[in-house]
């Protein structure tokens, strides 16, 4: 008997970073994300980057929370974001900001079909893919 699907979508991911402020400034500049400061359940300060209906929570190795990865590692993230504008506009913006492009535009396959993607890295070396769905 197959297990019924028990999850619907991503709400947030967590990145462990060396410098929360430097990472926040990078994502604000590169992708227009908005910073958020909040308190965790135990009252500890937390930081996040909001975009659309999702967010990326940021922590450094000193972040005090009982629900943390076993081996938080800098630069281990590799994730894909769907662009809110054509990928060519994202590419032009990143180039204007002096952000090095690792690859792209290149064809890829996403959860809903064919993608056209570009890749770049954040200050910790996490690989960021920004993509748009294409007719295929």
Average pLDDT per block of 10 residues along the chain, 136 residues long: 87 96 98 94 89 95 83 94 97 98 97 98 98 91
Can you point out the beta strands (E) in 86-125? 101-110, 113-121
Please provide the CATH number assigned to the domain covering 12-65+74-133: 3.10.180.10
Query: pTM for this one?
Result: 0.93
Q: Is position 129 annotated as part of the catalytic site?
A: yes
Q: What is the pLDDT of residue 112?
A: 96
* Candidate list 34, 42, 96, 129, residue with the active-site label: 129
Rounded Cα distance between 130 and 80, Å, is 6
Q: What is the pLDDT of residue 28?
A: 98
Residue 107 φ/ψ, nearest 5 degrees: -75, 140
The 3-state DSSP class for residue 113 equals: strand
Of 29, 27, 134, give the one whose Cα is nearest residue 87: 134
What six digits make up the tokens of 128?
């960021």
Give the pLDDT confidence of 75-103 residue by residue, as tens digits. 999 999 999 999 999 999 999 999 999 99
């Amino acid at each position: 008997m197959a297990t019924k699907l028990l999850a619907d979508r991503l709400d947030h991911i967590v990145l462990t970073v060396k410098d929360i402020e430097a990472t926040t400034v990078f994502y604000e500049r590169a992708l227009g994300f908005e910073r958020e400061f909040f308190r965790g359940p135990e009252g500890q300060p937390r930081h996040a980057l909001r975009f659309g209906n999702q967010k990326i929570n940021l922590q450094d190795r000193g972040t005090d929370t009982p629900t943390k990865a076993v081996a938080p590692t800098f630069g281990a993230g590799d994730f894909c974001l769907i662009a809110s504008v054509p990928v060519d506009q994202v590419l032009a913006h990143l180039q204007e900001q002096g952000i090095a492009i690792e690859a792209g535009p290149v064809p890829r396959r996403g959860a809903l079909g064919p993608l056209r993607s570009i890749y770049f890295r954040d200050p910790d070396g996490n690989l960021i893919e920004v993509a748009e769905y294409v007719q295929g």
